[in-house]
Structure 1
Amino acid sequence: MAVKEPIAGFAVAVVREDGRWRCNPLDPAALAELDAAITELRKIRSTGAVFGLLAVDDEFFVVVRPSPRGVSLLLSDAAAALDYDIAADVLDLLRVDPPDEDDDTVWPEGDLEILADLGLPAGELEVIVGEVDLYPDEQLQMIAQRCGFADEFTALLDEL
């Protein structure tokens, strides 16, 4: 069995409970396998919102939000599925075909309403995703800022 190279980036669990935010690191395996990210997020017990922010290899990000009804997902760049297993897994779960090899257009796939109940409407999230000149960590910082957990998010990233 071949040893997989670790994937650069970070995976963060974000929890809002009783009006307070907290951010915790997820296992690095969450960057390689969507199932690992979902499983780890489902283990977090909270009466409030729980979701994951995955920044993968300075290329794209994934928002993962498990719920009793299933899992909501947002992939910032569908074309990432051509090069990254986790992005392909997101498209599989969304039942979306990957883009053609020669298509270099960047577009998101998934639920742009994924964080609407936390203060980030779909239109604003679409603008953040569309900022293709930014790195994924910068885009996720904008999401954290808009939702209100930027301080907790930044503090965690400084520790990583």
Structure 2
Amino acid sequence: MAVAEDDIDFAVAAYRDGAGWSVQELVPDHLEDVESIAAALRRLPGDGAVAMVGVDEDFFLIVRTVGPTTRVLLSDASAADDWDLAESALDFLGLTDLEVDDDEAVPAGDLDLLGDLGLSDLDLTELLEDTDAYPDELLSDVAARLGFGEQFDDVVGFTTA
């Protein structure tokens, strides 16, 4: 299923500028597939921009560009059965034949894509193991650990109880 604008819970790009982190929304035109997200990130200042996209309270996608390299993490590979954006992530990763159980959220991609920013693959794996958390909660935690949590929460309208 294509991702309709209403299915996107949030889509943000975070990048470092001279004053620290900046966070802004990504427009729907940038959310067709991993390549269009990466192209949008490359237009931002600095190097190493990060996109965080939450879809239908079901899964999230992190895309990071560093120079010519694009790194991707899909929170739940089984989402590719229902969502074109998730399928594009598996295509990008060369995992089109990946078989996953729909009852178990199995991440796909580069768990160390944020390692040089302070969030190790082990820390990210630990966050992904929280199957009760929604994508906005998980990515708010990721953003906080990277140093732009407050900006992320403001842009996506996330409030904690």
TM-score normalised to the size of structure 1?
Answer: 0.87
Identify the residue that residue 106 of structure 2 maps to in structure 1. 107
Assess, with a 3 A threshold, how the Cα gap between structure 1 residues 19 and 62 changes in structure 2: closer, same or farther. Answer: same
Question: Residues 114-148 of structure 1, C-alpha deviation per residue, up to 9 Å, x if partnerless?
Answer: 11111101100011111111110000011011111
Identify the residue that residue 34 of structure 1 maps to in structure 2. 34
Question: Residues 75-127 of structure 1, C-alpha deviation per residue, up to 9 Å, x if partnerless?
Answer: 00000000000111000110013544754221111011111111101100011
Assess, with a 3 A threshold, how the Cα gap between structure 1 residues 102 and 121 changes in structure 2: closer, same or farther. Answer: closer
Q: Percent identity?
A: 35
Is residue 2:8 matched to residue 1:8?
yes
Paired residues in the alignment total 156
Is residue 2:120 matched to residue 1:136?
no
SS state of the match for residue 96, structure 1?
A: coil
CA contact (8 A) 2:73 2:110 kept: yes
User: How do 1:25-104 residues align onto structure 2 when only pairs under 5 Å count?
Assistant: 25-46=25-46, 48-100=47-99, 103-104=102-103
- Alpha-carbon distance, 1:19 to partner: 5.9
List alignment gaps of at least 5 residues for structure 1: none
TM-score normalised to the size of structure 2?
Answer: 0.87
Is residue 2:122 matched to residue 1:120?
no
Q: Cα RMSD between the aligned structures?
A: 2.1
Larger RCO, structures 1/2 (Cα 8 Å, 6+ apart): 2
List alignment gaps of at least 5 residues for structure 2: none
- Alpha-carbon distance, 1:33 to partner: 2.6
